[in-house]
Amino acid sequence: MSNAAWLDRTRAAVWHPCTQMKHLEAVPPLPVARGEGPWLIDHDGRRYLDAISSWWVNLFGHAHPAINAAITDQLGKIEHVILAGCTHGPVVELSERLGQLTGLGHAFYGSDGASATEIALKMSFHYWRNRGRPEKTGFVSLRNGYHGETLGALSVTDVALFKDTYAPLLRQSHQVPTPDARRAAPGQSAEAVALEAAQALEAYLAEHAETTAALILEPLVQGAAGMAMYHPVYLARARALCDRYQVHLIDDEIAMGFGRTGTLFACEQAHIRPDFMCLSKGLTGGYLALSAVLTTDEVYAAFLDDDTARGFLHSHSYTGNPLACRAALAVLDLFESEDVLARNAARAARLTARLAELARHPRVRHFRHLGMIWAFDVAEAPTDFARDFHQGALAQGLFIRPMGASVYFMPPYVIEDPEMDLMADVTGRLLDRL
């Protein structure tokens, strides 16, 4: 069947995410027939570079032989089983390995990122309640932060376009200033911006810690804010303040975990250990919906009791799905056997060099890079810039989705020089045409 036929059927039957369906006529989705490494291939055989890793989930490209083999092997054993009252090898092994990698134990599983946020918020609140502090019900998060779109997660998210409509349904939470380095005054360093933001956090906690359960934040990069990057000193200060004021630190590594920022987990760059870590997206290499919340022995211990209600009575049908856990184990194997972080550092240096010219383009502002993420803002971006840029790039074989006036590359960890050239060349040409 052709691209056009699939487009007709998708318009009639599918409600696409994060999409005004009325715009689907003008901006049709890409009908993907298959994937191969960093490439998406449509029904007419045309290839597109997946420069945003399929919404930040893909790590090692599409149809990776090792991940495919792990899932296929698991399919012949047990595809799924309830995790209340049962356990299985893949979930045990994954929990052990995530514990070793993070220094946090007892992984609790959900199906996607938003469910991990919900779990962490509920666990934090319930911890304080079990410890005799039921008044600690509040959450504080960063301005422009993003933690998912179910009602609880949206309550601590601060993206107006996603949040404002549903405001009457949401629980109040408080937002403190973001350490986003783009806020620097002329001559001010990223570190100074971060320290200033940390002072604002301190002022808030000094007044409200008694009623605050947790601070939730995206470490080093606020993805949905347009890949806003900030100095790691903010994380170090946030950790110290949370300790001082007895507030949990929830580290939402859903987008930034698994090597995206250059270290396996972003919080490592500030040498801190959070009270909760949320993982999803790259956890399965972008294969299957799985999320995990890891926490400290101290939090875990607060739930152990003869009283059932003091336990964490939360569940999702697909909690700890064996196929997803096997995909995640295959991902961890790849990190070990292929020295991914070191090879990414070399890969990133090549792409950064390749983008040097783009960084000097007269329309480019705040060119920034961390690990396997590159981003910049477009000065005087026309209305519909994101949409037009997306379509212009697609016509030249590049799949990319700017957020407002922020263009970013977040490619799978398998791109090589020709793909880097494509990203740089197509983007440069489109900027020239503005």
Ligand X SMILES: *Cc1c(COP(=O)(O)O)cnc(C)c1O
Binding site for ligand X (CB under 6 A): 112-114, 117, 146-148, 218, 223, 252, 254-255, 280-281
The residue type found at 152 is: G
**Cβ of residue 307: shortest distance to ligand X, in angstroms?**
32
Structure tokens at 394: 């697609």
**Cβ of residue 145: shortest distance to ligand X, in angstroms?**
8
**Nearest residue (CB) to ligand X, 225 versus 424:** 225
What is d(CA 26, CA 401) in angstroms, rounded to the nearest whole number? 15
**Cβ of residue 272: shortest distance to ligand X, in angstroms?**
17
Residue nearest ligand X (C-beta atom):
113
**Nearest residue (CB) to ligand X, 143 versus 363:** 143
The dihedral over CA atoms of 359, 362, 366, 367, expressed in degrees to the nearest 10, equals -10
**Nearest residue (CB) to ligand X, 31 versus 113:** 113
**Nearest residue (CB) to ligand X, 255 versus 430:** 255
Query: How many helices (H) and strands (E) are present in the chain, helices listed first?
Result: 15, 16
Provide CB contacts within 8 A for 243, sequence distance 6+: none
**Nearest residue (CB) to ligand X, 255 versus 400:** 255
What is d(CA 130, CA 359) in angstroms, rounded to the nearest whole number? 52
Annotate 7-21 with DSSP letters as a single string: HHHHHHH---TT--G
**Nearest residue (CB) to ligand X, 64 versus 147:** 147
**Cβ of residue 311: shortest distance to ligand X, in angstroms?**
25
CA distances from 167 to 117, 141, 170 (A): 18, 16, 5
Please state at what angle helix 233-245 crosses helix 190-208, rounded to 10 degrees. 10
What is d(CA 52, CA 131) in angstroms, rounded to the nearest whole number? 43
**Cβ of residue 18: shortest distance to ligand X, in angstroms?**
10
**Cβ of residue 171: shortest distance to ligand X, in angstroms?**
17
